[in-house]
Amino acid sequence: MRVGLLRTTAFTALFLGSTLVSSCRDEEPTGLDKALCARLSACDRNDEKLGIKSACNLLMMHENYPYNQTILQRVLRAQGLCVARATNCAELETCLSGTPEQQSVCATGGDIFHCVEGGSVVCGFGQVTEFYDCVAAGLMCDEQAGVIFCGEAECDQASFQPRCEGTELVSCKPQCGVDRQDCNIYWGTECDGVNPCRPIAGETCGETSPGEVGCVGAGPPCDPLTFTARCEGDVLVTCNHGREGRVDCRRYHDRYTCEDASHCDLDDDEDECTASTEPICFNGLVTYCLEGQVAWLDCTDYGFAGCATGDSQFGTVAYCTDEPDLP
């Protein structure tokens, strides 16, 4: 799974990036640290306040991705852990945009993609637009080796033979090097140019045709031309290369479910609010949307005098301040 341009919209919508900050706290953070959320909300990001909604959602990200089964999950989880361990705006900036040296490659314009100190830096308009700390995710970034996004190792596409390692499909991807896809959490679409395209899912790695490997089903035999894909709760069930294939959408993201008997997507049927719901600031209390649920944070509980709102490219943001918001 390619991490980079194919993921730009999803990544930048959450101000993503990834690096691990040195910390004496070796244990993994759990739950939402509201004090840290309040503190980071006032940090500047590209001349805008990060805001409580973005700060709190970022702090929850590592818990949303409990598994490290794809390159994308590993990068997102490392980034989320970095933010959860940040204690101030400078450390947050390192998580989201890299170190000053890593950021400096964008200042002169030129190439869009760089590898600096093990981090994949994407530049635009003279500044960092995306940053992925490949090393923190246990991956590599090496321009000379042709790996400019996070990958496991360099590889030669012409000679590399895709292989199965248990349930994992190991392949060679352009600009990403060696890539792993755990078929336990795979879903996609199969089109043969003759019949209507059909969803396929999971479940293990195996032979798809003579000499070719990929993600295949591991269940009872089935006929893809007559099989009807279905949802069983959060599980998508399809016919994948002649055998029933299943994927539990919650294994990819803890808020995903099976949708339309065709794919995994965000389970928002019970949501009280959406990503476009704007926060409200009143008398130090901020009301905002956190993972589909209405949430509250009282800035005065964490040493601030009040809250304030401002504009950003993603709409209104609310953040804690040292000035009271009401007389």
Single-letter code of the amino acid located at 99: T
Residue recorded with tokens 């800035």: 299
Residue 229: the pLDDT is 96
From 72-76, 222-226, 246-250, 265-269, the region with the lowest mean pLDDT? 72-76
Euclidean distance between CA atoms 198 and 191, whole angstroms = 7
The sheet carrying 280-282 orders its strands as: 280-282, 285-290, 293-298
Rounded Cα distance, 103 and 97, in Å = 7
What distance in Å separates the CA atoms of residue 44 and residue 304, rounded to the nearest whole number?
17
Predicted local distance difference test score (pLDDT) of residue 64: 66
Q: Could you tell me which residues are beta bridge partners of residue 116?
A: 119
Q: Which amino acid is at 104?
A: S
Q: Which of 14, 40, 84, 88 is nearest to 297 (CA)?
A: 40
Instruction: Give residue for tokens 């009807």.
Output: 228
Can you give the residue ranges of every domain in the chain?
Answer: 1-151+280-327, 183-266
Both tokens of 123, joined, read 């530049």
Q: Which of 4-8, 158-162, 202-206 is the least confident region?
A: 4-8
Q: E strand or H helix at 189, and its extent?
A: strand 187-190
Task: Give exposure, 179-202, as e/b (b: 16+ Cβ within 10 Å).
Answer: bbbbbbbbbeeeeeeeeeebbbbb
Q: In whole angstroms, what separates CA 280 from the centre of its chain?
A: 27
pLDDT of residue 113: 87
Q: How many helices (H) and strands (E) does the chain have?
A: 6, 24
Model pLDDT for residues 135-160, shown as the tens digit of each residue:
999 999 887 777 788 888 888 888 99
Least confident of 14-28, 33-47, 103-117: 14-28
Mean pLDDT for the stretch of residues 169-190: 87
Give dist(CA 130, CA 64) in Å, integer. Answer: 20
Letter for the amino acid at 166?
G
In this prediction, residues 271-300 reach a mean pLDDT of 92
Alpha carbon separation from 290 to 210, 270, 277, 286 (Å, rounded): 48, 13, 10, 12
Residue 286: which of 297, 301, 272 has the closest Cα? 297
User: Of 199, 187, 156, 189, nearest to 174 (Cα)?
Assistant: 156
Torsion sign, CA atoms 240, 243, 246, 252: negative
The pLDDT tens digits of the residues spanning 90-132 come to 999 999 999 999 999 998 776 788 899 999 999 988 888 889 9
